[in-house]
Amino acid sequence: MGGSAVMNIDVKGKKVIVAGGSRGIGRAIVLAFAEAGAAVSFCARGAGALEATRADAARFGGQVHAAGCDLSKAVEIDGYIAAAQKALGGIDVLVNNASGFGRGDDENSWALSLDVDVMAVVRASNAAMAALLASGDASIINIASGSGLGPSVRTPAYGAAKAATIHYTRTQAAAHAHEGIRANCVCPGSIFFEGGTWDVAKRDNPALYNATLASCPAGRMGTPEEVANLVVFLASPAASWITAQVISVNGGQGLRR
């Protein structure tokens, strides 16, 4: 490890699970790993988007496994991880991407955020742990949010859940470094994709959309592919000495000019 000055972003042959991978950032992560030569399994609830993403990933010629899973339910997570491990023949990389997008401060928003944004990370990581330990070169990458890095008045449940994910990632890194498992957290800023939060806001809440766009110094929001690029890097040998890090992908969003 660490002897070469040439960056090696090579994930060919790696066995990758993406928990929550049929749309937006998750879909981009699945496709990026598939294009880079990894064997990929991913799950989602919507059958249509699941199949569309599976078909697109399969066009790169590698192994692709897709399955329905409600990541708010422990029994479904256990079943999915076991099926994915069997399909891929092991697990080298676990990407926890799902979110319940609990936007409010009500009981339902908190329950959804804790079940999906926090407990799905815990449950999937625990379910995959034996296989990750057997890998010898494993990585956990948790997708949080810029909302978890500070106060989140508009989305309190979501922000608090993502803050918990950030903290848990660092705990995972500390707990498993000596076992050859790295753990890092990616915090996207405002990411625009068709049918996503900001696409909907652009149509239904232009004041919010325009105010958020104005907070992006580059004059645009990010793309799912820009997040996926970092995730693939973190899973690669080029990131072999990177663990316990919380990395924002936000184009400098919020910087003052």
CA dihedral 10, 141, 144, 88 (to 10 degrees): 90
Task: Give me the catalytic one of 80, 158, 168, 209.
Answer: 158
Q: Which amino acid is at 244?
A: A
Q: In the annotation, is 80 catalytic?
A: no
Tokens of 212: 């958020």
CB atoms within 10 A of CB 55: 11
Contacts 24+ apart (CB under 8 A), 166-174: 166/142, 166/246, 168/118, 168/121, 168/122, 168/142, 169/140, 169/142, 169/144, 169/244, 169/246, 170/244, 170/246, 172/125, 172/140, 172/142, 173/243, 173/244, 174/244
Residue 234: DSSP 8-state: H
Tokens of 120: 């799905």
Burial class (CB in 10 A: 0-12, 13-18, 19+), 56: middle
Tokens 């184009």, located at residue: 251
Q: Catalytic amino acids?
A: 158
